[in-house]
Chains A and B, each alone.
Chain A
Amino acid sequence: MMYKSWWKILASVLVLYTVVGGLLINVPTLPILHESIRNLYFHVPMWFSMIVIYTVSVVYSIKYLNSSNENHDLVAVESVNVGLIFGFVGLTSGMIWAKFTWGDYWPNDPKLNSAAIATLMYLAYVVLRSSIDEEQKRAKISAIYNIFAYPVMVVLLFVLPRLTDSLHPGNGGNPGFGTYDLDSNMRLVFYPAVIGWILISVWLMTIRYRIRILENKNNQIN
């Protein structure tokens, strides 16, 4: 049991540590940000997890096209479902943070808009799936859309914000996190938070995947 679930224990320990440590460990006092800088431990890992889990989804979509194995399609769709949850939490936590630091829930910022469009893209994937009844056809066509949309999402999230000015650090000539606001204390919480939340997202996906497999078994006529 320990052998198989060590990474789940690691994920829980890391996330618990970042919740406690993130709220208690000293942070540098910076103008405008003040204590809200602690949101970094919760807001930014959401995006890391979302991108990792969408990448998992694309990898399994490619696998599905090569193998026509129904389980690969299940992994792909459940990854997108989990990615959407992380996307929404990331947007919400970012909006609240933006209200207190930049003064608006939705400041006109390329990163915000890109994240919202990426979320729309995957919502379209969900709608596409629900429009097709036949299972194999649904799996194949949605896998194709998933692979088609992924590179555009990468451009959207990583290339476009760098071409324009942004309020976010690390964009449009602003220095990145590492240069001045992330001191060694914060790194001690931030990196474990990223790893912890990525593991949690994979864990959530595997749980949903196993539920789907059980449902499929239940629905079969023997």
Chain B
Amino acid sequence: MNLVTQIKYLLKKEILLEWRSKYALNGILLYVVSTVFVCYLSFKVTPPTVWNALFWIILLFAAINAIAKSFMQESKGRLLYYYQIASPQAIIIAKIIYNILLMILMATVALVFYSIVFTNDVGDIPLYFLAVILGAISFSTVFTMISAIASKANNNGTLMAILSFPVIIPLLILIIKLSKNAMDGLDRSVSYKEIGVLCAINAIVIVISLLLFPYLWRD
């Protein structure tokens, strides 16, 4: 099988498994909704800067919880089976794509629910949505590789958070800046620089993941 077919099958398997149990999906969606509600009850009204920052903090923690599972839930025997039938690149790409899809769905639901509960004026809604999509993609690319690393070390949640926070902060700074620009309704040409750097970092992270994962999965 070539790489593309392998990725297609692996991706189909991820989605099918998730669809059968719906555990992760429902769990994460409920997690986002309840966190938003907790924040609403504690803040009631927020100034725009806090509104933006709070949204990204909620998404950050939801993303860590969602993606941490991507390698940990696989049993050792099943991993061995994948390694015999698929190439490591196919496995990591399929995981990244699946996590991107999951995160985009989650971020969209979070954004809709968040803007219903907290009323706030976003100046440039399409650009804000683009920032959310870019954020979801960035979280997925970085956390997928980190969760692969963390799953090889003692499998605990603390390690996942410790390892991923310093790596995600630079991306998060850019995303928060981009979404703030969108909130203020600034001219779109102001944000091109942030979008460019974000895409560049994501490309670098994906390339490094592809190079490093073959070393990681051989035990």
Interface residues of chain A, those whose CB is within 8 Å of chain B, are 65, 114, 117-118, 120-121, 124, 127-128, 131-132, 137, 140-141, 144-145, 147-149, 151-152, 155-156, 159-160, 163
Check B13 for interface membership: any CB of A closer than 8 A. Answer: no
Q: What residue in chain B is nearest A118 (Cβ atoms)?
A: B166
- A137 and B153 alpha carbons, distance in the complex (Å): 9
Cβ–Cβ contact B153 & A132, under 8 A: yes
| Contact residue among B201, B208, B209, B216 (Cβ-Cβ distance under 8 Å from A141) | B216
Cβ–Cβ contact B149 & A148, under 8 A: yes
Cβ–Cβ contact A141 & B159, under 8 A: no
Residues of B within 8 A of A132 (CB): 152-154
Cβ–Cβ contact A152 & B149, under 8 A: no
Contact with A along B125-158 (1 / 0, CB 8 A): 0000000000000000000011001001110100
| Contact residue among B149, B152, B197, B205 (Cβ-Cβ distance under 8 Å from A159) | B197
- A209 and B170 alpha carbons, distance in the complex (Å): 32
- A105 and B124 alpha carbons, distance in the complex (Å): 37
| Contact residue among B145, B169, B197, B209 (Cβ-Cβ distance under 8 Å from A117) | B169
- A141 and B145 alpha carbons, distance in the complex (Å): 12
CB-based closest 4 A-B pairs: A121-B166, A120-B166, A156-B170, A124-B162
Given A117-B166, A156-B170: A147 touches B208 (CB 8 Å cut-off): yes
Cβ–Cβ contact A144 & B162, under 8 A: no
| Contact residue among B159, B194, B215 (Cβ-Cβ distance under 8 Å from A131) | B159
Residues of B within 8 A of A114 (CB): 170
Query: From residue B41, how far is it (CB to closest CB) to chain A in Å?
Result: 30
Known pairs A144-B212, A144-B215, A152-B166; list 18 more (Cβ under 8 Å): A114-B170, A117-B169, A121-B166, A124-B163, A131-B156, A132-B153, A137-B152, A140-B215, A141-B153, A147-B208, A148-B205, A149-B166, A151-B204, A152-B167, A155-B197, A156-B169, A159-B197, A163-B174
Q: What residue in chain B is nearest A149 (Cβ atoms)?
A: B167
Given A121-B167, A155-B201, A160-B170: A145 touches B152 (CB 8 Å cut-off): no
Residues of B within 8 A of A121 (CB): 166-167
7 A/B residue pairs, CB under 8 Å, sorted by A: A117-B169, A132-B152, A137-B152, A137-B219, A141-B152, A155-B201, A159-B197
- A156 and B167 alpha carbons, distance in the complex (Å): 9
Given A141-B216, A144-B212, A144-B215: A128 touches B163 (CB 8 Å cut-off): yes
